[in-house]
C-alpha cells in the first residue's frame, strides 16, 4: 500500500521539524515536503502534489485561510489546519472548516514543542482521517462568528457507551412529537449545514452530535442558526426538544435524550470519552432508543471510526427508522459503513435526501 504523502506548511522551523519527526515515525505516512509559507508550497506542489496538507494559519506572504481557499479552487485536497489561532477564538477554525479543511488541531502558544510531541497520536490520526476524505469544493458560507475559546485535543482511552449510565425511562408507545437524532464526525460540519439549510421551519425536533472540541460547538451552532430557517443552538440541560429546533451537543460533554412526562428534553452531562469522543453519538443514540423508540428517526452521517453504529442498532431494534448517509456522498465513509456492517440500517441515502427524510418522518403517525 502506498504511504500517505504529506506536505507541512508552517513558518516555524520548530513546528516543521517536530511535525516531520512525529509523522515520520507513523506507519504508512511519508512527509514528502515542507514549506515555510504558502507561495513556496504552491511552487513545490506544481511539481509534486501531496495527498494531505498540514498547514498553519498565520504565515507570511499569504495567510492559511486564503491558501486553503486557493487550494480548494485549484485542486481540492484534504487539509488539516494546525494553528494557535483556534486557541484564541473559534471564528478562524469555523472559517477554515467552511473553506474545506477536514479537521483542526489547536496549537498552544506556550510549550509548543512538547505539545506537538505529546499530541502525536492526535496529529497522526487527523492526517490518516484526512487521507480517507473525499474533498469537494465547499459552498460559500457567510461570515465570521464571535470568538470563543477552544481546547487542545487529548488522547482518550476507548470506552463503550456503557461507561455512561442509561437514562431510566422507557419509550412511550406513541407520541404526537417525533425526535430526529443525527450523528456526524469528519466532514460533518458541511454535511450538517447541507441538511439543516434544506429544512423548512416546520419540521420535527432534532438533536445532534457532531464530534468537535469544547467551545467550537457554540460558534458552529451560531453559524448554522444564521443560515437556516430552523432555530439552531448549543444544547443545555433541560432544553425541550421542539419542532423547528435543532439542539447541538456541546463539545466536551455528552448529551442524552430524556423524557419528562410525555415531553422530550435533553440533559448534558460529564463523563469519560466514549469511542474516544465526548460528545459521543453512541451515548445520544442509545438514549433516544430508550426514550423515544419508534417515535424517532436516527441518521448516521459522514465520519471516521465507528461511533454511533451500535447506538443506531439500538434505535433500530427499538423500532426507530435508521438511516445512514451513503458512501458516494460521505467525506469519510467510516461510521455509516460500520452501521451497515452491524445490520443497524434500514436504508442508505444520499446527503441530498436526508432533509426530505426528516420532513417525512415528522408526517408519519
**Residues with active-site annotation:** 185, 211, 307
Closest by CA to 325, choosing from 313, 314, 338, is 338
Element (H, E) at 315: helix 309-317
Report the distance separating Cα 143 and Cα 258, nearest Å: 35
Cα distance from N-terminal residue to C-terminal residue, the chain:
51
Q: What secondary structure does DSSP assign to 26-75, as a single string?
A: STTEEEEEEESSHHHHHHHHHHS--SEEEE-SS-SSS-HHHHHHHHHHHS
Report the distance separating Cα 359 and Cα 341, nearest Å: 27
Quick one: cell of 90?
473559534
The sign of the dihedral angle between the CA atoms of 90, 268, 275, 193 is: negative
Amino acid at each position: 500500500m502506498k504511504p500517505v504523502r504529506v506536505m507541512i506548511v508552517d513558518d516555524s522551523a520548530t513546528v516543521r521539524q517536530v511535525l516531520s519527526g512525529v509523522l515520520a515515525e507513523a506507519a504508512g505516512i511519508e512527509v514528502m515536503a515542507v514549506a515555510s509559507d504558502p507561495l513556496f508550497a504552491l511552487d513545490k506542489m506544481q511539481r509534486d502534489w501531496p495527498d494531505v496538507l498540514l498547514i498553519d494559519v498565520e504565515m507570511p506572504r499569504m495567510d492559511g485561510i486564503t491558501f486553503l481557499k486557493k487550494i480548494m479552487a485549484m485542486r481540492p485536497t484534504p487539509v488539516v489546519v494546525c494553528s494557535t489561532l483556534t486557541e484564541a477564538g473559534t471564528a478562524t477554525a469555523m472559517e477554515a472548516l467552511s473553506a474545506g479543511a477536514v479537521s483542526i488541531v489547536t496549537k498552544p502558544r506556550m510549550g509548543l514543542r512538547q505539545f506537538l510531541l505529546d499530541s502525536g497520536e492526535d496529529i497522526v490520526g487527523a492526517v490518516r482521517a484526512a487521507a480517507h476524505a473525499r474533498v469537494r469544493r465547499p459552498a460559500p458560507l457567510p461570515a465570521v462568528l464571535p470568538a470563543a475559546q477552544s481546547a487542545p485535543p487529548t488522547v482518550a482511552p476507548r470506552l463503550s457507551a456503557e461507561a455512561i449510565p442509561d437514562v431510566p425511562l422507557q419509550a412511550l408507545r406513541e407520541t404526537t412529537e417525533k425526535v430526529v437524532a443525527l450523528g456526524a464526525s469528519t466532514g460533518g460540519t458541511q454535511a450538517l449545514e447541507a441538511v439543516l439549510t434544506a429544512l423548512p421551519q416546520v419540521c420535527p425536533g432534532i438533536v445532534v452530535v457532531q464530534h468537535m472540541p469544547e467551545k467550537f460547538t457554540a460558534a458552529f451552532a451560531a453559524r448554522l442558526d444564521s443560515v437556516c430557517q430552523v432555530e439552531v443552538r448549543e444544547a443545555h440541560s433541560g432544553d425541550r426538544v421542539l419542532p423547528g429546533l435543532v439542539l447541538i451537543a456541546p463539545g466536551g460533554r455528552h448529551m442524552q435524550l430524556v423524557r419528562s412526562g410525555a415531553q422530550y428534553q435533553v440533559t448534558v452531562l460529564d463523563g469519560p470519552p466514549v469511542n474516544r469522543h465526548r460528545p459521543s453519538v453512541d451515548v445520544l443514540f442509545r438514549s433516544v432508543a430508550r426514550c423515544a423508540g419508534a417515535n424517532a428517526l436516527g441518521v448516521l452521517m459522514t465520519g471516521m471510526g465507528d461511533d454511533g453504529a451500535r447506538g443506531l442498532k439500538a434505535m433500530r431494534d427499538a423500532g426507530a427508522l435508521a438511516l445512514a448517509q451513503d458512501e458516494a456522498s460521505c467525506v469519510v465513509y467510516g461510521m455509516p459503513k460500520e452501521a451497515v456492517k452491524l445490520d443497524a440500517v434500514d436504508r442508505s441515502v444520499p446527503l441530498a435526501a436526508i432533509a426530505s427524510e426528516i420532513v417525512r418522518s415528522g408526517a408519519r403517525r
